[in-house]
Structure 1
């Protein structure tokens, strides 16, 4: 688990992966929360003023990623665009592919996890657990590679959440017996230090215009995931 300092204007502008009149897609670093917490501290939103690019107001979040998740994050550039993006997310129209490295891994090469989720308890806020009476949660997954570091078996997965529940991929991985590397809540990750959560929003597809193909954006692999991905056969691209 890492904490990232506040991004400068130059830092966050360098993380813009896509920009048009309606939205931005930025490459969120792991270790930086999207919102300001109750205790203050560095957060992504505090740097959004540097992303106005000529508009009167800074962009706003169209969805969110966990603090320790990296990769594609979508921002609406004005109110109408943000409302449209919100509806696309709500109705599952936006395709999302996450890259993860998990401990162990499935024996099959692809599959679907259909496991309803509910809140763990009132004290833990956003934390989730498998709950047959909870909200429906479905994840498709596919093995992209397998490998080993020291004596630990690893699997590189592409995971596509069909639903958008809080911590869905993390709970689904853990409950299926192959927790995500570095998950300090649902897996065997450390409370402090390495490894950082190996969960990366790799690609997003946004059908923002009816008469055009979806906008597809790919986020580069973060530094903290590269060694384990290379061990699983990733070619560095």
Structure 2
């Protein structure tokens, strides 16, 4: 597997993660990002390490740190909300409003029947997502999501329960219809680094988004 490199310097690497590639080894086996870390050293001795999480189905910008000091600093930036993240998703429906903010706290639950998932919970962890409708075609919409917090499955739950329109293909918070994968794409990532130039990465719209009639514009 070859990866498009969206940003690279001595302490950071941003790759365009393909949909379908998990970061961790699945219980059932199969390929994972760890299989390709040596390939991604790109001349450096240490294996790069992912700083944040992207779901298996989610494509786009994934930041890797090239040394332990950078990993610690970048991880702190995510925890302190100093990272600008931009996602694109296709939802099943057309929101009446053009933009808005969803503030719904989330909590993790697990059952033997359905496994684990995130649910809305007043006493859960605060989660805030800003959204904007970019385009609509044939009853589905391209939405820009800018999460202020970084909770697990935040955008997926906020789309389904906040907008009332799940992401196409979402098997957990939607009906899995409309696409063979959850249509969520990490389109942009910006991290300030003090006196150093910021990390700025942009991932182009993937083929399955384009196939539904949406474009970069």
User: Residues of 1 paired with 2:94 and 2:157: CA distance?
Assistant: 14
Partner-residue secondary structure (3-state), 1:221:
coil
1:91–1:21: structure 2 CA closer, same or farther, 3 Å change rule?
same
User: Residues of 1 paired with 2:126 and 2:213: CA distance?
Assistant: 30
* Residue in 2 that maps onto 1:64: 53
Matched, 1:228 2:217: no
In structure 2, the gaps of 5 or more residues are none
- Indicate if the aligned counterparts of 2:168 and 2:179 stay in contact, CA closer than 8 A: no
Of 151, 161, 180, the match for 2:147? 161
1:229–1:86: structure 2 CA closer, same or farther, 3 Å change rule?
farther
* Residue in 2 that maps onto 1:4: none
Of 85, 100, 107, the match for 1:118? 107
- Indicate if the aligned counterparts of 2:52 and 2:75 stay in contact, CA closer than 8 A: yes
- Indicate if the aligned counterparts of 2:87 and 2:184 stay in contact, CA closer than 8 A: yes
- Indicate if the aligned counterparts of 1:101 and 1:229 stay in contact, CA closer than 8 A: no
* Residue in 2 that maps onto 1:215: 199
Q: How far is 1:213 from its partner?
A: 4.8
- Indicate if the aligned counterparts of 2:118 and 2:153 stay in contact, CA closer than 8 A: yes
Matched, 1:139 2:129: yes
How many equivalent pairs are there?
215
User: Residues of 2 paired with 1:64 and 1:172: CA distance?
Assistant: 17
